[in-house]
Chains A and B, each alone.
Chain A
Amino acid sequence: NAGVTQTPKFRILKIGQSMTLQCTQDMNHNYMYWYRQDPGMGLKLIYYSVGAGITDKGEVPNGYNVSRSTTEDFPLRLELAAPSQTSVYFCASSYYRGRGEAFFGQGTRLTVV
């Protein structure tokens, strides 16, 4: 049972480059989320989705884009990477909105230089 799978685990980007962080879940959850985690700052919500074809902005969406074409996949796109996007990114999914248990992937550690 894979749960939530994120790829890649580590990545170094140069300023101005673009990349897509992949996230897939096999639990048939409707709700999916992208968070970023900076040291001492907890987890901040970037984007979330309540089902295929529906996405919405979270607290810190600038510089990111998402799509949700299937229930399983929720990729996060970084356009024109900036040093401020250096962070650890977590994808999560849940069966119930908000109050339901969120299952997290192992994270992607991204460094922009």
Chain B
Amino acid sequence: TQLLEQSPQFLSIQEGENLTVYCNSSSVFSSLQWYRQEPGEGPVLLVTVVTGGEVKKLKRLTFQFGDARKDSSLHITAAQPGDTGLYLCAGAGEGDSGYALNFGKGTSLLVTP
């Protein structure tokens, strides 16, 4: 199993602040995905990054894939209460290890008004 370490595990901030969540591994991934999960629901895909160094933006969310394809970050600008949730990174391995996604433990984000 290719391990993904997410940090921080918990984050509580006020509306309007910026934050960055990190996802690190010693393994190389063919792609890395970020999911958001709300209580009582399954995770929902936010973005997939495939190329080393790739940066993708989704409104106030910016995702980056490390040059070596071993790590990724999620940056949220001017966080809103609606951003509250559990953020999970997931990596797909290369070759035969790429049949299923390996998930990090998640970052639980709380944004208060």
A residues sitting closer than 8 Å to B (CB atoms) are 4, 31, 33, 35, 40-45, 48, 50, 56, 58-59, 90, 92, 97-99, 101-102, 104-107
Which residue in chain B gives the minimum CB-CB distance to A102? B101
Assuming the A-B contacts A42-B88, A106-B40, are A99 and B104 also in contact, with contact meaning beta carbons closer than 8 angstroms in the complex? no
Cα distance A50–B96 in the bound complex, in angstroms = 12
In the complex, B92 has a CB within 8 A of chain A:
yes
- CB-CB under 8 A from A102, the residues of chain B are 33, 43, 45, 90, 101
Contact with A along B59-90 (1 / 0, CB 8 A): 00000000000000000000000000000101
Assuming the A-B contacts A41-B105, A42-B106, A98-B30, are A48 and B100 also in contact, with contact meaning beta carbons closer than 8 angstroms in the complex? yes
The answer to whether B30 and A50 touch across the interface, beta carbons within 8 angstroms, is: no
In the complex, B8 has a CB within 8 A of chain A:
no
B residues sitting closer than 8 Å to A (CB atoms) are 1, 6, 9, 30-31, 33, 40-45, 48, 50, 88, 90, 92-93, 98-106
Tally of A-B Cβ pairs under 8 angstroms = 70
The answer to whether A99 and B92 touch across the interface, beta carbons within 8 angstroms, is: yes
The answer to whether A99 and B50 touch across the interface, beta carbons within 8 angstroms, is: yes
A77 shortest CB reach to chain B, Å:
19
Cα distance A35–B90 in the bound complex, in angstroms = 13
Q: A45-B100, A97-B100, A98-B93 are in contact. List 13 more A-B contacts (CB 8 A).
A: A4-B42, A33-B101, A40-B106, A41-B105, A43-B43, A45-B102, A97-B99, A98-B31, A99-B31, A99-B50, A102-B90, A102-B101, A107-B41
24 contacts between A and B (CB under 8 A): A33-B101, A35-B103, A40-B105, A42-B104, A42-B106, A43-B90, A45-B100, A48-B99, A56-B99, A98-B31, A98-B98, A98-B101, A99-B33, A99-B50, A99-B98, A102-B33, A102-B43, A102-B45, A104-B43, A104-B44, A105-B42, A106-B40, A106-B42, A107-B42
